[in-house]
């Protein structure tokens, strides 16, 4: 094969053809990572999609520059990418960029160097002088380094001028972000007691060298030939300097060797699997039987019913047959406790993969999955892209969670659905697990597409929490509401704290207050780049935009009328933290949201403190609602159920039920029944009544009937089209034309165009069109039609600069 079709990490319609040089013929195979040239000088890392004998007619074919020695992308991965590209209306290049860690695909980087010295230095502007002085004639400088050196945020216009004037030049290089972890170790060269004593005698006149060498002999404990110790550790322990180490090396008493090491912390403590209860064992057997005629089985188990132990036993069975397993979680926030449980069961066979890992760590996980040393992967949605070998089982925990859906950038995939396709390609089985399954999965069970197994009781016969509805409307009329707390909730918290028990308070909005408002003229501070009010964050003394992260200092007077009467409206987790501190002054209070847990360590620290009993009250957003297991939580308070129920989305009732049932599941584990207090002004709402009764089936039946009557998923399918432009008039004109064209081709199936509630984000106007079509309609033809239409409108000069995004199965 003389030619290769190469996938590049760009939004191109398809792979590009390149000639394989004779010197690389034996090394270029399907899936190989290669370096190719695109345009005049840019270099890219690409993937060989396929090989062929003949070139594409009418094009000049460039040659592949080089091939990486790293293992190729597997055939199963390429097949999955092709399916995703077709199903989610995206390019293979976009999938490649999302799938491969940056350390596996070095990017093209421009570097600048000084070409000649400037004789007319005084004629240059101050910025040009600074940039020219920062450039080195003998060293190629990357743009990021130049910005650091000069402090100039955007030196590109200056660089362009200097290059055109001949003072500077630029070139393209591949920048590899992956750096293996290299560590230095010390070995002693003596091999017996006699040589050791002789060396010590010779070092008597060099006390520092003597002290360091004595330490090494002590650590070796007569195991002279096999002993080694990390150089940094040994120097820290003895306060030895580099000069001491160098002197001992010259005397040939020690040698220094370097080793490439793994960054990932090994787990060696294995406690094994717990014995299943009779109910769990029965459920395990049922899933096994269902897997004989269903590839996918839904495990519908109430909170705290012990679903995780059932997953682990299925994983153990798969590992016993020499296959691997993937355990998907909706987000990093719930991985901490689950990971420790899985590692306790399977030890060093377990690998973890998520977005908070560094590029170096991601590359090392990738390599160990590819080599087979990691047989169980616990990860978030991006873990579906790993190079699995002999995949036998996929577990998708909390399968209903909307965080499995990738919204931006492309590919806009749903990890649950991709994982099911991945499993099918490997011939693996799938277990979906949830206390509150998505209506799509429940519908598939009712139609016998998926198998269904149910666990209706908590593990150990533990009692389900008592759910009490606190009527905020009546309480306000009676004027007994204290700040944002119903008196019933305050009493229950006090009772729990007196009994040395813990409390969780749930408010699904971070910050102190959603917005500020002037009481004189009703002015509300808004973001300069988005059509949304700024959220007040008291601890930071800032007003933040939660859409574009724009920051503004806190206002002390109204810019519209000059009044100093600015009032907070609504409440977030920060305000609840303040109010809880006011009511329960002796309590130790912590907050868990994206403001307090920006890193994995912060998150783990907050949870470990709560788990260890160092925190009495934990306040948080939906981060506290998922999969966490605390033994001493007696009370859970849902501060504002109305916000969720009134959200303008056809899934609002389903999601409200899921979220409130999930957070309720944190209460009353083990021997004591917990209490859940739901504050709402709508105590008679059907969803609230279903939550109180823990009646998922009633909620699902009612919602599915509504979905069927109004032609919503799962009975119909949606493709969302999001259009964005800086000019509102151009946007509306393009959207109207697109909607009209689709409507003519597909009468009665177009909704919109319609502006979303926040219709201006990052200085771009937004409008939406939704295509609603029957499940029986050919989605392949429809997607091809929409992609062609998108391309035609994007090329139209009237709509220059328009962004059109297709989102299949939007959430």
217-253 per-position pLDDT tens digit: 999 988 888 899 999 999 999 999 999 999 999 999 9
Question: Per-residue confidence at 116, pLDDT binned at 50, 70, 90?
Answer: confident
pLDDT of residue 557: 94
pLDDT computed for residue 665 by the predictor: 84
Assign residue 92 the CATH number of its domain: 3.40.1440.60
Q: Answer whether residue 120 shows pLDDT above 90.
A: no
Question: Which H or E element spans position 233?
Answer: helix 231-238
Report residue 282's pLDDT band, with 50, 70 and 90 as the boundaries.
very high
Asked whether residue 257 is domain-assigned, the answer is no
Q: Is residue 95 part of a domain?
A: yes
Task: Dig out the tokens for 71 from the structure.
Answer: 């293992």
Confidence grade of residue 811 (pLDDT, cut at 50, 70, 90): confident
Residues 639 and 691 in one domain: yes
Of 59, 90, 106, the residue that ends a domain is 106
Check residue 394 and give its pLDDT. 98
Per-residue pLDDT of 168-204, as tens digits, reads: 888 877 777 788 888 999 999 998 888 999 999 999 9
Residue 719 CA neighbour count, 13 Å, CB half: 25
Burial-class residue 739 by CB neighbours within 10 Å (0-12, 13-18, 19+).
buried
Of 620, 617, 427, the C-alpha closest to 511 is 620
Q: Can you give the pLDDT at residue 57? A: 58
| pLDDT for the residue numbered 39 | 81
Residues 690 and 760 in one domain: no
* Residues 323 and 381 placed together within one structural domain of the fold: yes
CATH code at 794? 3.30.70.600
Judge if 619 and 490 occupy the same domain: yes
Q: Residue 668: what pLDDT?
A: 74
User: Looking at residue 56, what is its pLDDT?
Assistant: 65
Between the alpha carbon of residue 557 and those of residues 152, 521, 537, the distances in Å are 34, 12, 17
pLDDT at 513: 96
Q: Residue 592 domain-assigned?
A: yes
584 pLDDT more than 90 = yes
Asked if 412 contacts 90 with a C-beta cutoff of 8 angstroms, the reply is: yes
Separation of alpha carbons 34 and 681, rounded Å: 61
Would you say residue 234 lies in a domain? yes
Given a contact cutoff of 8 angstroms between Cβ atoms, the answer to whether 77 and 49 are in contact is: no
Q: How far apart are CA 8 and CA 23, in angstroms?
A: 22
| pLDDT over 90 at 378, yes or no | yes
- How much is the mean pLDDT over the chain? 91
DSSP E strands: which ranges in 420-462?
Answer: 429-434, 451-455
List the single range of 76-90, 175-189, 636-650 with lowest mean pLDDT: 175-189
Q: How many domains does the chain have?
A: 7
Question: Is residue 524 situated within a structural domain?
Answer: yes
Is the same domain home to 489 and 419? no
Q: Are residues 486 and 578 in the same domain?
A: yes
Q: What is the pTM of this model?
A: 0.88
| pLDDT at residue number 597 | 85
162 and 89 assigned to the same domain: no
Whether residue 657 has pLDDT greater than 90: yes
> Is residue 430 domain-resident?
yes
Q: Are 402 and 273 contacting, i.e. CB atoms less than 8 angstroms apart?
A: no
Q: How far is CA 460 from the centre of its chain?
A: 34
Domain contains 720: yes
CATH code, domain with 318: 3.40.50.300
Please indicate, yes or no, whether residues 447 and 301 belong to a single structural domain of this protein: yes
Give the mean model confidence (pLDDT) for residues 368-376: 93
Q: What confidence tens digit (pLDDT) does each residue in 308-320 have?
A: 999 999 999 999 9
Q: 244 and 199 in one domain?
A: yes
Same domain, 596 and 554: no
| Amino acid 627: pLDDT | 59
pLDDT band at 42 (very low <50, low <70, confident <90, very high): confident
Nearest C-alpha neighbor of 527 from the set 539, 518, 516: 516
Query: Do the Cβ atoms of 290 and 449 come closer than 8 Å?
Result: no
Q: Which of 117-126, 353-362, 437-446 has the highest mean pLDDT?
A: 437-446
Least confident window among 6-20, 595-609, 720-734, 780-794: 595-609
268 is a domain residue:
no
Which CB contacts under 8 angstroms, 24+ apart, belong to 520-529? 520/558, 520/561, 520/563, 520/565, 521/558, 521/560, 521/561, 521/563, 523/558, 523/559, 523/560, 523/561, 525/552, 525/555, 525/559, 529/761, 529/762, 529/763
Of 82, 106, 130, which one is at a domain's C-terminal end? Answer: 106
Min mean pLDDT across 15-24, 168-177, 638-647, 800-809 is at: 168-177
Model pLDDT, residue 59: 66
Name the CA radius of gyration of the chain, rounded. Answer: 31
Using pLDDT thresholds of 50, 70 and 90, give the confidence band for residue 507: very high
Mean pLDDT calculated for residue range 550-561: 94
Mean pLDDT of 604-621: 92
Q: Which residues contact 137 (CB under 8 A, 6 or more apart)?
A: 113, 114, 115
386/342 same-domain check: yes
In sequence order, what E strands does 665-797 have?
Answer: 675-680, 716-725, 750-754, 760-761, 764-774
SS (H, E, C) 507-558: CCCCCCECEEEECCCCCCCECCCCCCECEEECCCCEEECCCCCCEEECCCCC
When mean pLDDT is compared across 147-151, 380-384, 735-739, the lowest value belongs to 147-151
Query: Does position 554 have pLDDT exceeding 80, yes or no?
Result: yes
Polymer length in residues for the chain: 811
Least confident of 135-139, 290-294, 375-379: 135-139
Residues 308 and 430 in one domain: yes
Q: Is 776 helix (H, G, I), strand (E, B) or coil?
A: coil
Q: What pLDDT, on the 0 to 100 scale, is given for residue 410?
A: 93
For residue 424, pLDDT over 90 is answered with: yes
Provide the 8-state DSSP code for 63: B
Look at residue 625 in the predicted model and tell me its pLDDT: 75
371 half-sphere exposure, CB direction, 13 A CA radius:
11
Domain stops at, among 396, 430, 459: 459
Per the structure block, which two tokens stand in for 746? 């597909």
**What per-residue confidence (pLDDT) applies to 293?**
95
* Percent of the chain surpassing pLDDT 90: 71
Least confident of 47-56, 256-265, 620-629, 730-739: 620-629
pLDDT band, residue 446 (cuts 50/70/90): very high
3-state secondary structure of 671: coil
For 330, the domain range is 278-459
**pLDDT the model gives residue 333:** 64
């Amino acid at each position: 094969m003389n030619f290769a079709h190469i996938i590049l990490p760009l939004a191109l319609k398809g792979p590009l053809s390149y000639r394989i040089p004779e010197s690389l013929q034996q090394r270029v195979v399907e899936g190989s990572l290669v370096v190719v040239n695109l345009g005049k000088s840019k270099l890219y890392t690409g993937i060989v999609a396929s090989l062929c004998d003949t070139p594409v007619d009418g094009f000049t074919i460039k040659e592949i520059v080089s091939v990486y020695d790293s293992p190729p992308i597997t055939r199963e991965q390429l097949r999955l990418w092709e399916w995703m590209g077709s199903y989610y209306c995206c390019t293979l290049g976009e999938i490649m960029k999302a799938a491969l860690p940056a350390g596996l695909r070095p990017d093209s980087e421009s570097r600048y160097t000084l070409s000649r010295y400037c004789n007319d230095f005084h004629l240059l502007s101050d910025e040009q002088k600074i940039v020219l002085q920062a450039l080195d004639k003998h060293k190629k400088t990357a743009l990021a380094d130049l910005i650091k050196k000069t402090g100039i945020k955007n030196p590109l216009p200056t660089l362009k001028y200097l290059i055109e004037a001949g003072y500077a030049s630029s070139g393209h290089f591949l920048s590899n972000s992956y750096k293996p972890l290299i560590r230095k170790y010390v070995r002693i060269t003596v091999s017996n007691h006699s040589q050791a004593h002789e060396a010590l005698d010779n070092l008597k006149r060099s006390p520092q060298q003597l002290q360091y060498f004595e330490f090494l002999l002590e650590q070796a404990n007569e195991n002279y030939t096999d002993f080694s110790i990390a150089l940094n550790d040994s120097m820290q322990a003895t306060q030895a300097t580099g000069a001491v180490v160098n002197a001992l090396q010259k005397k040939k008493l020690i040698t220094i060797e370097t080793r490439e090491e793994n960054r990932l912390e090994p787990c060696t403590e294995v406690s094994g699997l717990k014995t299943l209860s009779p109910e769990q064992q029965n459920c395990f057997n049922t899933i096994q039987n269902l897997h004989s005629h269903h590839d996918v089985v839904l495990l519908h188990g109430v909170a705290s019913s012990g679903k995780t132990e059932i997953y682990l036993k299925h994983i153990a069975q798969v590992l016993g047959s020499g296959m691997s397993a993937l355990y998907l979680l909706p987000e990093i926030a719930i991985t901490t406790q689950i990971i420790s449980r899985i590692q306790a069961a399977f030890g060093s066979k377990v690998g973890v993969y998520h977005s908070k890992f560094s590029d170096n760590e991601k590359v090392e996980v990738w390599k160990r999955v590819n080599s087979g040393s990691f047989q169980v992967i616990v990860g978030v949605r991006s873990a579906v892209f790993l190079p699995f070998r002999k995949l036998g089982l996929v577990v998708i925990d909390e399968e209903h969670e909307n965080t499995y859906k990738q919204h931006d950038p492309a590919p806009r995939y749903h990890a649950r659905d991709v994982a099911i396709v991945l499993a099918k390609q490997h011939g693996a089985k799938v277990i979906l697990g949830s206390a509150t399954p998505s209506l799509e999965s429940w519908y598939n069970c009712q139609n016998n597409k998926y198998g269904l197994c149910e666990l209706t009781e908590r593990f150990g016969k533990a009692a389900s929490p008592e759910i009490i509805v606190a009527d905020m409307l009546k309480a306000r009329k009676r004027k007994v509401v204290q700040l944002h707390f119903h008196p019933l909730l305050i009493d229950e918290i006090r009772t729990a704290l007196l009994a040395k028990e813990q409390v969780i308070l749930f408010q699904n909005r971070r910050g102190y207050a959603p917005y500020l408002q002037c009481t004189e003229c009703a002015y509300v501070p808004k973001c300069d780049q988005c059509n949304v009010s700024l959220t007040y964050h008291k601890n930071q003394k800032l007003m933040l935009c939660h859409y574009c992260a724009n920051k503004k200092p806190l206002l002390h007077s109204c810019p519209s009328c000059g009044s100093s009467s600015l009032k907070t409206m609504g409440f977030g987790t920060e305000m609840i933290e303040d109010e809880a501190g006011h009511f329960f002054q002796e309590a130790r209070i912590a907050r868990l949201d994206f403001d307090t847990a920006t890193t994995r360590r912060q998150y783990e620290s907050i949870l470990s403190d709560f788990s260890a009993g160092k925190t009495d009250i934990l306040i948080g957003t939906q981060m506290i609602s998922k999969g966490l297991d605390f033994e001493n939580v007696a009370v859970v308070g849902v501060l504002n159920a109305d916000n969720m129920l009134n959200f303008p989305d056809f899934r609002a009732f389903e999601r409200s039920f899921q979220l409130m049932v999930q957070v309720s599941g944190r209460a009353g584990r083990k021997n004591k029944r917990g209490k859940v207090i739901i504050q709402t002004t709508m105590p008679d709402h059907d969803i609230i009544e279903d939550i109180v009764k823990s009646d998922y089936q009633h909620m699902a039946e009612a919602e599915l009937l509504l979905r069927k009557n109004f032609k919503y998923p799962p009975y119909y399918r949606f493709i969302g089209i999001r259009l964005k432009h800086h000019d509102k008039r151009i946007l509306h004109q393009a959207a109207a034309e697109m909607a009209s064209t689709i409507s003519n081709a597909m009468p009665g199936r177009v909704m919109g165009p319609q502006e979303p509630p926040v219709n201006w984000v990052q200085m771009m106007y937004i409008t939406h069109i939704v295509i609603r079509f029957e499940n029986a309609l050919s989605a392949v033809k429809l997607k091809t039609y929409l992609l062609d239409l998108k391309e035609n409108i994007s090329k139209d000069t009237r709509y220059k600069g328009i962004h059109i995004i297709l989102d299949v199965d939007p959430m």
